[in-house]
Structure 1
């Protein structure tokens, strides 16, 4: 840590691994799968209590209404938890947004519910890396920064639905991102501690195909088979994948008894365009495939959903923010690199607001979204120090220009 100034060393020395790890262990034992509203509510309460140690006002924001198409092709409301917002020095002229999520991908019914140690540094447990550890180190980093005579204002947003696309928090993210000089998001680092660079966009869709039922033996020619049409649509969408656009037909619901031509099917699919031009091309792919399949099978097709995560290309301001973060990491003795990734997160939404964002400021670990998820406990204090130092240098020196 030879690159640190004396005043930087002083507040960074207040960061200890023990409290960060203790919170991580306690929070990871709380099931907060996105759909487990009781668990998400409990998690929000624990976070509110913990983040109350920082100055500012904490509020729990109501989720925006969200609908999801069910197996019968009908939009149904989806319940979501409230989102935690902390505003510190809201009147400051220069402000930052820091974001994370309290939800995990593990529902209350999932067998993966508890933590255990694989070795002295590897904590195996649900949400340890993604992102209970990230939330805990975020708090520690901000608490240390508050010891340094801060003038920078900031908002902390911890949403309850990131793992399902942040549909009920997207408007809140956009609102809080406006006018910020920089953004830090606490997704876990990539394997080896690598930071994420560019990200594709992502859209989730449900194509409701309505045909006409008929007897499968007596008069099948009078029917219009919605299941066959949905399968054709899946094939056409899958065939449209190319460099810059991934397409994943994921599930077909519907059908009918074997003696009936099915008149309803729902195709669920995901598309990930790399950049803005690919986003426009992806929408054209959907429009063309839907029109062609509807005409070929004489069915009606209604597409629900959209591109909730815009592509996140890397512009010059983000390159400069990464240079600041990278220099801070090197001065802490933790040099880092970054690379493009196929995943998406709230960093996509923030970048679309014109705010430079580094979105893998969280803990190091791996096997996220699986029963093998683990956290490298040694990264907790290191990443907390990185947060504190980056905030301090943004405060003292501003965003690099």
Structure 2
């Protein structure tokens, strides 16, 4: 069963498919060019999906990179591979085009969450309009939307009005470390660009796009208590032990931060007892303890998502203060590890969404609203957004079931998304020329 917004779109799309008269002759030519190339790029998508490119399957990620590099070169782009060995991943594909017009960064990724030993490996037709496959929406389909849009601009003779850089990362689903090296190609391109456009699938609803994303970082809390016979717990000279202190801190965080809109934090794995271990990378741990012994140690690994850098900093101040104000005979050490930064909604992002929704309405597809940040995770554009004047994401292939073996795309959204993206790029070029 399709999500309600996507189902509604599919029911209405035949009624909304006729472009409005507001389109220029150039834009009408771009629309027709997309329609002529859908079949060809559907084949490209099938080839890409049938190559396993789980983040740690370096050969597979490189093969998908080579496939897309060839497609970009066919469009006249210069394409090169950034070796990922310094940050422990396969690497990234970077392509560039043009010498005049607005500087636009186009963002996608090559890797998926499906490892090489996953049972979910192939492009599979479900019915006339739907296709299953690993990474088909997240986000090999988004890369193909990008290519289809660029192909249409080239066929219509207007691609030369843009300066473009494309960065398709090979580690979006499992970031390489250190972040400074893993993100260098993306950040360098963003510093060069004026505008960033991401082709992730957002929340899977073609009536939304992403102008704000919450960041995604991790934290770790290590708590110590005074071990003793359990019959003595709560005594003034012994205290509550590590397990109760951990519970107190987590509960106090929840109460202090519950009114922060769009802020979430989650203790994903925790252990408490006499002897404990908890690996931050794998999430695996060990514990030894007895019901008649007060817990000496407690460990918890968690994540935090915030809508802006300011909100994140406020939350961290609260969390650190509560973790440091310990009950008697206990102590706690709070550690924060930076991950994806927040992408706040800026005036520039809103302006870009306004342009995109106007295009969508003129095409007959209806308005496009900003997605609720709680319904879209972190993505590569988060590392780029702070360096550009305008940013938007979620313009990729739509569907459902991302990150699961039920991941499927509605192929009717392929031409629609490509047309909207192509005309957005065309109008950006025309606005600068005016």
TM-score using structure 2 length: 0.78
Moved more, 150-159 or 163-172: 163-172
CA contact (8 A) 1:216 1:261 kept: yes
- Corresponding residue for residue 328 of structure 1: 359
Q: How is 1:31-70 mapped onto 2 (pairs within 5 angstroms)? A: 31-63=52-84
Per-residue Cα deviation, 1:50-105 (whole angstroms, up to 9, x for no partner): 22212232121234856xxxxxxxxxxxx22201110112x436311110111222
Q: How is 1:2-401 mapped onto 2 (pairs within 5 angstroms)? A: 2-15=21-34, 16-63=37-84, 79-89=88-98, 91-92=99-100, 94-147=102-155, 148-149=157-158, 150-164=160-174, 167=179, 169-207=182-220, 209=222, 211=224, 230-239=246-255, 240-244=257-261, 245-252=263-270, 253=278, 254-258=285-289, 266-293=299-326, 296=328, 298-299=330-331, 301=333, 303-313=335-345, 315-339=346-370, 340-342=372-374, 343=376, 344-398=378-432
Question: Which consecutive unaligned segments of at least 5 residues does structure 1 have?
Answer: 67-78
CA distance in 2, matches of 1:264, 1:39: 42
Per-residue Cα deviation, 1:20-45 (whole angstroms, up to 9, x for no partner): 21121221122222233232222222
Moved more, 79-88 or 140-149: 140-149
Pairwise CA RMSD of aligned residues? 3.2
CA distance in 2, matches of 1:64, 1:203: 24
Moved more, 136-145 or 4-13: 4-13
CA contact (8 A) 2:239 2:329 kept: no
Distance change (3 Å), C-alpha of 1:42 and 1:337: same
Moved more, 219-228 or 91-100: 219-228
Select the structure of larger CA radius of gyration.
2
Distance change (3 Å), C-alpha of 1:331 and 1:109: same
CA distance in 1, matches of 2:92, 2:302: 27
CA distance in 2, matches of 1:143, 1:137: 10
CA distance in 2, matches of 1:386, 1:105: 28
CA distance in 2, matches of 1:93, 1:308: 30
Shift of 1:231: 5.0
- Give the 3-state SS of the residue equivalent to 1:207 in structure 2: strand
- Give the 3-state SS of the residue equivalent to 1:163 in structure 2: coil
- Corresponding residue for residue 13 of structure 2: none
Shift of 1:280: 2.1
Question: Which consecutive unaligned segments of at least 5 residues does structure 2 have?
Answer: 1-18, 271-277, 279-284
Shift of 1:372: 1.9
CA distance in 1, matches of 2:321, 2:38: 54
CA distance in 2, matches of 1:45, 1:22: 16
- Give the 3-state SS of the residue equivalent to 2:152 in structure 1: helix
CA distance in 2, matches of 1:111, 1:160: 21
Query: How many residues align structurally?
Result: 385
Shift of 1:228: 5.9
Distance change (3 Å), C-alpha of 1:183 and 1:97: same
CA distance in 2, matches of 1:100, 1:387: 14
Per-residue Cα deviation, 1:115-165 (whole angstroms, up to 9, x for no partner): 323321011222111111111121111122123242211100111122235
Moved more, 297-306 or 125-134: 297-306
CA distance in 2, matches of 1:10, 1:93: 20
Distance change (3 Å), C-alpha of 1:119 and 1:174: same
